[in-house]
Structure 1
Amino acid sequence: MKKFKLSILAAIAITGLVFTGCSSDDDAPTIVNEEEVITTLSVTLVPTAGGNTITLVSRDLDGDGPDAPVVTVSGNLAANATYTGAVAVLNETETPADNITLEVVEEDLEHQFFFTVGGGLNITTDGFNLDSEGNILGTTFNVTTGAASSGTYTVALVHEPTKPNTGVADAGGETDIEVTFNVTIQ
């Protein structure tokens, strides 16, 4: 009787393995979209009426490592001027550097750049380029300065924001990178 019970249990176990080991080949594999590594955010501001191009750069080559990002601003913005802006994000842990901006543009419905002014800085940002559904993407934009002032200019890239939105406060999503620059207009 023991051999019979063991044979039945073995048959049941083997049958269970056969049915659970086989699966339908009709199931599509899940596509994994790995989160991009962003080490560098660069904003280039080109004056429309002559003058110096200004670059704002944050570079954090060790990512979440112990070293703080190196944040630089190449100079002061001119008062009462207009600039054409472009933002780029890179992964400089690879050689050559991987231009993540290309992926952001390709996946435009899933990304948006936000620009926030603080501390009395007299600046407006508008004229953003749009995604494929007519909502703000923000890889290119215009900056208009007012009277001399200083303050902060924060640039954030948000992944999967709610679009349209009125700004970063109601966009939701996840922040891929956010950098605050100390800016002076003179």
Structure 2
Amino acid sequence: MKQAFFLNRFLMLLLSSMCLFSSCKNSGPEPEPEDEKEVITTVRIQLVPEGKGQNAAATWKDLDGPDGQGPLVENLVLKANTTYRGTLTILNESNPNAPIDLTAEIRAEGYNHDVFYIVDGASLSIQKTDLDRNNRAIGLETTAATTSPSTGTLRVVLKHQPGLKSGSSNIDTGETDIDITFPVFIQD
């Protein structure tokens, strides 16, 4: 009887162990974590004239997001017949006590990002000057040139193009991270 008792216990232990080990089987590779979309609340364009002249800047800010109040948008006022070096800064200021500068991350992952500049009405042309690791333009740094006095708009679109950015990718390629418009005034 003792022998049957121990045999039953042994079989129970063996079956329990088999169940435990079979439930720990790897069911396949772990899924890749999704690339989480960053919260962007603030975009600042800063332009420094080459040579003499006054710096120019404009900020787009939407701290409460697309479902809240409309964004605060400053005018971009430029001098006619001037060439500027431009810098785009992208921030998450949803927590005003701990703002996050996303610009460095976008630059580091430039092979997955592209900034597009669309000018409408203003005598302004913009050329991207920074490159990603594949020698493709990013658009966080630019050269901007004005000619005659005029008014119009500057649309800035940041596209997230993981695995899609190529020499032929365009504003329709990938997901839109930001799509904002600044009023532009070019003066004598």
Give the TM bin, normalised by the shorter chain.
Answer: 0.7 to 0.9
Structure 2 gaps of 5+ residues are 1-15
Q: Deviations over 1:4-33 (max 9, x none)?
A: xxxxxxxxxx9xx86873332883563343
CA gap 1:83/1:24 in 2 versus in 1, 3 angstroms: same
Aligned residue number for residue 100 of structure 1 = 102
Distance 1:93 1:26, change over 3 A: same
| Matches of 1:82 and 1:166, distance apart in 2 | 27
1:29-108 paired onto structure 2 within 5 Å: 30-73=32-75, 76-94=77-95, 95-108=97-110
Whole-angstrom CA distance in 2 between matches of 1:85 and 1:106: 18
User: In the alignment, is residue 139 of structure 1 matched against residue 144 of structure 2?
Assistant: no
SS of alignment partner, residue 168 of structure 1: coil
Is the contact made by 2:60 and 2:180 (CA closer than 8 Å) also made in structure 1?
Answer: yes
Structure 1 residue runs without a partner (length 5+): 1-13
Equivalent residue, structure 2, for 1:109: 111
Alignment partner of 2:74: what SS? strand
Q: Which deviates further from its counterpart, 27-36 or 143-152?
A: 27-36
Percentage identity across paired residues of the two chains: 33
2:12 is aligned to none
Once the two structures are superposed, residues 27-80 of structure 1 have per-residue CA deviations (whole angstroms, 9 ceiling, x without a partner) of 35633431110000110011112222111211000012321010012x521111
Q: Please tell me whether the aligned partners of residues 47 and 57 of structure 2 are also in contact (alpha carbons under 8 angstroms).
A: yes
Output the CA distance in 2 between the equivalents of 1:99 and 1:147.
35
Task: Supply the RMSD in Å over aligned alpha carbons.
Answer: 2.5
User: Cα–Cα, structure 1 residues 31 and 96, in superposed 2: closer, same or farther, change >3 Å?
Assistant: same
Q: How many residues align?
A: 169
Task: Flag the 1:107–1:166 CA change in 2: closer, same or farther, 3 A.
Answer: closer
**TM-superposition CA deviations, 1:113-166 (whole Å, max 9, x none):** 110011x21111114211110111111010000111111111111001532237
Amino acid at match of 1:66: G
Amino acid at match of 1:181: F
Bigger drift between 133-142 and 43-52 goes to 43-52
Distance 2:55 2:99 in 1: 23
